[in-house]
């Protein structure tokens, strides 16, 4: 009976958390603010605000499941905005059409993919722990973003990329949501299939559960880690593209501390620093929880420092519950 309850909590726990946070703000707000919080437009706003964290969390999920961590994702988001804006500034202009913004987006994503690949290689070949490698990569990438942009924001014409994060492209239609939201949903479905039904997904869980056993079973752990961090870099590049659409400039100082929000979304969604646990759906729910917290605090006029305390406390509680669960299982 206890095992069944534990499985149900693991499966639906993030959804219970989402419902609790939403209901908390529903009852906390006064009668004047509550209709704004519950409105369809604000719901779309919350989902749109979750896009950057959510896509980043999709990439971070296999990293956490494999008992790794990537602290460089915030810097990668900034790098993607700078590279995309720099390409548009130097090669765009006038009527850019479809292709120029597309090539700029590909360049930004490719830069982040390369950085993820390099992190994976250093972790696998040099046998350096992921924390140290990605901590160093965080500084390297942030410095590269500042160097490319000459330590200033890069202004450009974003073209059609500027419309990816428009909350309601067609006002009044309840299914009209930002294109970035649909991109997040598509990536969620793709990564869900990859982790659940492919050999790569099985390897990710095997490495996180017991790396030594995975090696004995013939899994090429080093190669798989390279793939894991490369995929994380690529998806973080997509998150950076959404950030560029939100800002419409390249900002080398953007996304400072965002790596903590992305990691928090995965942990809140059921991921474990011990490895072997986590889900894409849970990570997206975790990103929505983070978005509701920030949106609700803003509407309720709760100061930013209180938001930081609340989010930090939630991370500690989520990790603490995970540790207690593993202690009982042991």
* DSSP one-letter string for 230-280: HHHHHHHHHHHHHHHHHHSEE-TTTTTTHHHHHHHHHHHTT--TTSS---H
Q: What is the pTM of this model?
A: 0.93
For residues 4 and 14, the model is more confident at: 14
Of 66, 82, 53, nearest to 228 by C-alpha is 66
Phi–psi pair at 249, nearest 5 degrees: -140, 165
Query: Per-residue confidence at 7, pLDDT binned at 50, 70, 90?
Result: low
Would you list the domain boundaries of the chain? 43-329
Over residues 117-126, mean pLDDT = 95
Question: Cα separation of 287 and 280, whole Å?
Answer: 11
Does the pLDDT at position 330 exceed 60? no
Over residues 189-201, mean pLDDT = 95
Strands 249-250 and 154-155: antiparallel
Residue tagged 């905005």 (tokens): 81
- Residue 3 is predicted with a pLDDT of 57
- Averaged confidence pLDDT in the chain: 89
DSSP state at residue 93: -
Q: Let me know: does 140 contact 155? Beta carbons within 8 Å.
A: no
- Residue 209 is predicted with a pLDDT of 92
CATH code at 43-329: 1.10.3470
Q: Let me know: does 289 contact 21? Beta carbons within 8 Å.
A: yes
Q: Let me know: does 265 contact 286? Beta carbons within 8 Å.
A: yes
Three-state SS for 22?
helix
Over residues 184-194, mean pLDDT = 97
Lowest mean pLDDT among 79-83, 152-156, 239-243, 308-312: 308-312
Phi–psi pair at 253, nearest 5 degrees: -100, 5
Task: List CB contacts of 219: < 8 A, sequence separation 6 or more.
Answer: 203, 206, 207
Over residues 20-30, mean pLDDT = 86
Furthest CA-CA distance within the chain: 66
Residue tagged 């529903």 (tokens): 26
Q: With 0-12 CB in 10 A as exposed, 13-18 as middle and 19+ as buried, what is 192?
A: middle
**Whole-number percent of the chain with pLDDT over 90:** 62
Question: Cα separation of 159 and 141, whole Å?
Answer: 26
From residue 119, give the alpha-carbon distance in Å to each of 41, 198, 217: 40, 23, 25
Which range in 13-17, 240-244, 276-280, 312-316 is most confidently predicted, on average pLDDT?
A: 240-244
Q: Which helix (H) or strand (E) holds 154?
A: strand 154-155
Does the pLDDT at position 5 exceed 70? no
Query: Per-residue confidence at 28, pLDDT binned at 50, 70, 90?
Result: confident
DSSP state at residue 68: -
- Residue 321 is predicted with a pLDDT of 72
At residue 58's C-alpha, the angle toward residues 213 and 21, to 5°, is 110
DSSP state at residue 31: T
Does the pLDDT at position 4 exceed 70? no
Q: What share of the chain is helix, strand, coil (3-state, %, to 5)?
A: 75, 0, 25
Does the pLDDT at position 106 exceed 90? yes
| pLDDT digits 0-9 by tens, 140-149 | 999 999 999 9
For residues 113 and 322, the model is more confident at: 113
Does the pLDDT at position 22 exceed 60? yes
Question: Cα separation of 105 and 96, whole Å?
Answer: 13
Residue tagged 């790794």 (tokens): 68
Over residues 185-198, mean pLDDT = 96
- Residue 234 is predicted with a pLDDT of 97
Structure tokens at 84: 């995309």
Query: Per-residue confidence at 329, pLDDT binned at 50, 70, 90?
Result: low
Over residues 220-241, mean pLDDT = 96
**For 39-98, where are the alpha helices, taking DSSP H only?**
40-65, 73-91
Question: Cα separation of 91 and 101, whole Å?
Answer: 10
Over residues 32-53, mean pLDDT = 90
Residues linked to residue 250 through DSSP beta bridges, in sequence order: 154
């Amino acid at each position: 009976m206890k095992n069944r309850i534990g499985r149900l909590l693991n499966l639906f726990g993030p959804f219970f958390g989402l419902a609790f946070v939403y209901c908390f703000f529903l009852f906390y707000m006064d009668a004047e603010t509550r209709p704004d919080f519950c409105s369809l437009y604000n719901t779309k706003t919350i989902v749109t605000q979750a896009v950057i964290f959510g896509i980043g969390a999709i990439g971070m999920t296999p990293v956490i499941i494999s008992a790794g961590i990537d602290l460089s994702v915030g810097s990668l988001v900034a790098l993607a905005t700078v590279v995309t804006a720099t390409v548009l500034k130097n090669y765009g202009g006038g009527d850019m059409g479809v292709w120029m913004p597309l090539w700029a987006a590909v360049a930004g994503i490719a830069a982040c993919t390369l950085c993820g690949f390099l992190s994976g290689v250093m972790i696998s070949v040099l046998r350096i722990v992921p924390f140290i490698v990605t901590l160093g990569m965080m500084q390297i990438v942030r410095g590269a973003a500042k160097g490319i942009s000459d330590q200033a924001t890069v202004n450009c014409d974003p073209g059609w990329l500027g419309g990816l994060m428009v909350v309601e492209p067609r006002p009044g239609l309840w299914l009209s949501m930002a294109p970035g939201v649909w991109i997040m949903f598509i990536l969620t479905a793709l990564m869900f299939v990859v982790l659940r039904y492919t050999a790569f997904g099985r390897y990710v869980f095997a490495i996180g559960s017991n790396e030594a056993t995975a090696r004995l079973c013939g899994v090429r752990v080093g190669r798989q880690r390279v793939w894991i961090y490369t995929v994380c870099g690529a998806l973080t590049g997509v998150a950076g593209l959404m950030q560029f659409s939100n800002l419409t400039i390249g900002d080398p100082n953007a996304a400072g501390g965002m790596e903590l929000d992305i990691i928090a979304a995965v942990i809140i969604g059921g991921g474990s620093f011990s490895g072997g646990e986590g889900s894409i759906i849970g990570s997206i729910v975790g990103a929505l929880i983070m978005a509701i917290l920030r949106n609700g605090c803003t509407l309720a006029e709760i100061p930013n420092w209180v938001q930081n305390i609340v989010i930090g406390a939630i991370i500690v509680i989520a990790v603490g519950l995970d540790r207690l669960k593993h202690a009982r299982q042991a």
